[in-house]
Amino acid sequence: MRPFDYLRAQDTAAAIAEAGKPETKFLAGGITLLDLMKLNVERPARVVDITRLSGLDTIEVSADVIRIGALAKMSKVADHAGVREAAPVLSESLWRAASAQLRNMASIGGNLMQRTRCTYFRDPGAYSNCNKRNPGSGCAAIEGINRNHAVLGTSDACIAIYPGDFAVSLVAFDADVLVRGTVARRIPIDEFYLLPGQTPHLEHPLSPGEMIVGIEIPRSAALKRSHYLKVRDRASYEFAAASAAVGIEMEADGRTIRDVRIAVGGVATKPWRLRAVEASLKGKTLDESTLRAAAAAAVEGAKSSGHNAFKIALVPKVVARALMTVGDIS
């Protein structure tokens, strides 16, 4: 691990000022950062520990929004009674992630910023060719073992998956990321994640020193009737093979879909909203065949790299099953 300086920020303004300096990174739970520093993927010269900043770990559920501070721990948000009541999908996508120990350490801000688990990205000693780590060097995964790589949103430069769960539910429900730097701004979550294109090393629109201070999720009927389905290689403590964050709101007749939200994870280079599938379901009668027919379009444009073809078959099933669960269709 490269030697570094460790600073403990006294307040948010100081943290932002320090983190704006060259080769400096915020340190929250440290799960992504320290792991990647040990692997020599991240090599900051300085880290600014933000875990002792006050006022950034609050969770508020008001009449129209849920507001979560960037330093709130995954475990606290997952177990929060108000969040579970107003937004089951948020709680589920958190407690089905990582492990109890990791969720006690991980901050919501750090969770959004977690990096891909692409094994080539994580192994600079063995693979110099990774466009995300080393722009212009090529991509070891495209011709390599790519069972855990993306089928949606890929480019010929990078096929790495965005591995997180929580952001998938945020994308389905139009959250905003609240950011503070020299000015305060609000970034719609869908714009917070960039497609790899020819610049896979650029993952977010944040400038150096900009800090996530919180997220805001608008409340809705669909959010209240929501669910996160995560399918994986083992029952727990594993990233998604494919996942779906869904929510539904019915018309007064109880049969017609008024509003529906769908995003998928574990299959795309960013949390992947399925707006076309949503549009095709609005106004339709809720039943299994309608859901399955609509879900088939979830993988439109999907591209296999070889070992990951199973994800293309899996996604429509995961989407349909998640919608059947919130729709109470057994």
Partner 1 sequence: MSAARQLSLEVNGKRHNLQLDIRTTLLDALREHADLPGTKKGCDQGQCGACTVHVDGERVLSCLTLAAQVEGRQVTTIEGLQTADGVMHAVQTAFIEHDAFQCGYCTPGQIMSAIACIREGHAGTDDDIREYMSGNICRCGAYPHIVAAVRDAASRLKTERAL
Size of interface with ligand FAD, in residues (CB under 6 A): 28
Concatenating the DSSP letter of every residue in 116-163 gives ---TTTT-TTT---BTTTSTTS-BTTTTS--TTS-SBS--SS--PPP-
Contact between 116 and ligand FAD (CB under 6 A)? no
Q: Which lies closer to ligand FAD via its Cβ, residue 109 or residue 153?
A: 109
Q: Which of 115, 209, 102 is nearest to 167 (CA)?
A: 115
> Which residues, in sequence order, are CB contacts of 254 under 8 Å at separation 6+?
none
How many other CB atoms sit within 10 Å of the CB of residue 207?
10
Contact between 148 and ligand FAD (CB under 6 A)? no
Concatenating the DSSP letter of every residue in 63-132 gives SSEEEEETT-BHHHHHH-HHHHHH-HHHHHHHHTSS-HHHHHH-BHHHHHT-----TTTT-TTT---BTT
Q: CB of 105: closest distance to partner 1 in angstroms?
A: 5
Contact between 196 and ligand FAD (CB under 6 A)? no
β-bridge pairing 46-49 and 24-27: parallel
* Residue 273 structure tokens: 């909203």
Residue 165 partner contact from ligand FAD, ligand SF4, partner 1, none using kind-dependent CB cut-offs of 5 to 8 Å: ligand FAD
Contact between 132 and ligand SF4 (CB under 6 A)? yes
Contact between 228 and ligand FAD (CB under 6 A)? no
Q: CB of 172: closest distance to ligand SF4 in angstroms?
A: 25
Residue carrying structure tokens 């629109």: 205
Residue 231 partner contact from partner 1, ligand FAD, ligand SF4, none using kind-dependent CB cut-offs of 5 to 8 Å: none
Applying CB under 6 A, among 171, 239, 266, 271 the residue interacting with ligand FAD is: 239
Applying CB under 6 A, among 72, 87, 90, 98 the residue interacting with ligand FAD is: 98
What residue ranges bind ligand SF4 (CB under 6 A)?
116, 118, 120-121, 130-132, 139-141, 158-160, 200
What residue ranges bind ligand FAD (CB under 6 A)?
25-33, 35, 70, 97-98, 102, 105-107, 109-111, 113-114, 164-166, 211-212, 239
